[in-house]
Amino acid sequence: MVGGGRGAFIGGVHRMAAAIDGEIELVCGAFSSNPEKSRLSGKDFYVPADRVYGSYAEMIEKEKQLPEGERMDFVSIVTPNHVHFGPAKMALENGFHVVCDKPLCFDLDEAEALEKIVEESGLIFALTHNYTGYPMVKQAKAMVANGDIGKVRKVVVEYPQGWLSTLLESTDQKQAAWRTDPARSGIAGAMGDIGTHAENLAEYITGLKIEKLCADISTIVDGRLLDDDGNVLLRFDNGARGVLHASQIAAGEENNLNIRVYGEKAGLQWHQMEPNTLTVKWQDKPTELLRTGVGELYPSAQSHTRLPAGHPEGYLEAFASIYRNFAHCVRARIEGKKVDPVYEDFPTVSDGVRGMKFIYKVIESGKSEEKWTKM
């Protein structure tokens, strides 16, 4: 692991998620850019002292020297945006597979360069757009792909939060500080942090690509350096229309990511805060509520369901689905076997490039007088 030391939020999430299915063991790490903090963090995580490193470069160099079967198999990168590219590049160039938190990189140039490095390496790369890991999201994707709701006509996706309704970054709140800092977060705030989740979810479920967009981007809280609210009109490559909004100043909202996909025959509705339910609104028959673990679902949904019906599967399990699938692919690669295609379902570096392009085009559109901007 690179990053995720004491005081980090997302590092703990990754460690818990990776451990859920018993497929992955944390064997080493450079948990902070501060060597002492890295050492103390490694002690917290029960990592052997001789495999806790002061930098990601030291970790990669020393792990590469260990015998195969003893050295690390892959690197998980859980740093702020501006420290994604360096460790990912070095890991790939030294033969290690990579899992990386989103967004992919600090800027589009880095993202496109990393995509090329992944392609040239032939190694496995996963991006943790974790909301794609929910069973009911996979059920929705399968229903769209199978033509159950007919041709997609309309997509409405939103991700409102309220935690940045005040100038929280002016306090000692670590998460607010780096997420609102252009030097560490990049050109976008809310649209880069959560808007990309909405974009990725819309493209994942529908199988469509955003072709054009028209954005209204705002910084509502005085003194903030990056956007904290955005509204985007979308046009997809099959002619479908869409609306996306992401906000971190929607007071009272928690993590209310939700999506509605309307086809010719029916509409699908999923809420992240009630993840075990997929609502199917038919044009010519009563509305259905599909539930995780109940009845016959598509294989992709069933294979990502861990618990009996009525036991909520949530954020950590969705994260874990990406790690489990990635682990199966890495294991198959090591053993020279073919992996079950159901485990090849996780976001890739190309999804990360799509997300970075979305960020750039949204900010470009928000500053432009032109109505539509091509993706």
Q: Which of 77, 101, 123 finishes a domain?
A: 123
Q: Report if residue 332 sits inside a domain.
A: no
Beta bridge partners of 278: 270, 290
Starting at the edge strand that comes first in sequence, how are the strands of the sheet with 266-271 ordered?
A: 288-291, 277-282, 266-271, 258-263, 152-160, 241-247, 229-236, 210-218, 373-374
Specify the pLDDT at position 16: 97
Among 68, 89, 123, which residue terminates a domain?
123
Q: Does some domain include residue 139? A: yes
Q: What is the pLDDT of residue 7?
A: 85
Q: Block means of pLDDT (10 residues each) for the chain, length 375 residues? A: 93 96 97 96 97 98 95 97 96 98 94 97 97 98 98 98 97 92 95 96 98 97 97 98 98 98 98 97 97 95 94 94 97 95 96 96 94 91
69 and 165 inside one domain: no
Q: Please indicate, yes or no, whether residues 21 and 161 belong to a single structural domain of this protein.
A: no
Residue 10: HSE in the Cβ half-sphere, 13 Å Cα cutoff? 22
Say if residue 40 is in the same domain as residue 140.
Answer: no
For residues 268 and 144, membership in a common domain is answered with: yes
Residue 327 covered by a domain: no
Together in a domain, 263 and 357: yes
The tally of CA atoms less than 13 A away on the side-chain side of residue 122 is 1
Beta bridge partners of 360: none
Both 290 and 233 in one domain: the answer is: yes
Please state the length of the chain. 375
Of 104, 123, 142, the last residue of a domain is 123
Rounded to whole angstroms, the Cα distance separating 116 from 308 reads: 42
Residues 170 and 307 in one domain: yes
Measuring CA to CA, which residue among 26, 106, 104 is closest to residue 72? 26
Closest CA to 374 of 194, 253, 237: 237
pLDDT at 309: 94
Same domain as 189, residue 67: no
Residues 290, 188 within the same domain: yes
2 in a domain, yes or no? no
Range of the domain at 272: 133-311+352-374
Tell me, yes or no, whether 145 and 57 share the same domain. Answer: no
Domain co-membership, 170 together with 82: no
CATH for 17: 3.40.50.720
Burial of 120 by CB count in 10 Å (0-12 exposed, 13-18 middle, 19+ buried)? exposed
Residue 270 forms part of a structural domain: yes
Q: Is residue 191 part of a domain?
A: yes
Cα–Cα distance for residue pair 325/38, rounded to 1 Å: 28
* CATH number of the domain bearing residue 360: 3.30.360.10
Question: Considering the domain boundaries, does residue 110 fall inside one?
Answer: yes
Single pTM value for the model: 0.94
What are 273's two structure tokens?
């805060």
- Let me know whether 89 and 140 are in one domain: no
Q: Is residue 190 part of a domain?
A: yes
Maximum alpha-carbon separation in the chain: 65
Query: What is the count of structural domains for the chain?
Result: 2
- What per-residue confidence (pLDDT) applies to 172? 84
Distance in angstroms (rounded) separating the CA atoms of residues 105 and 99:
13
CA dist 288 and 270 (Å) reads: 12
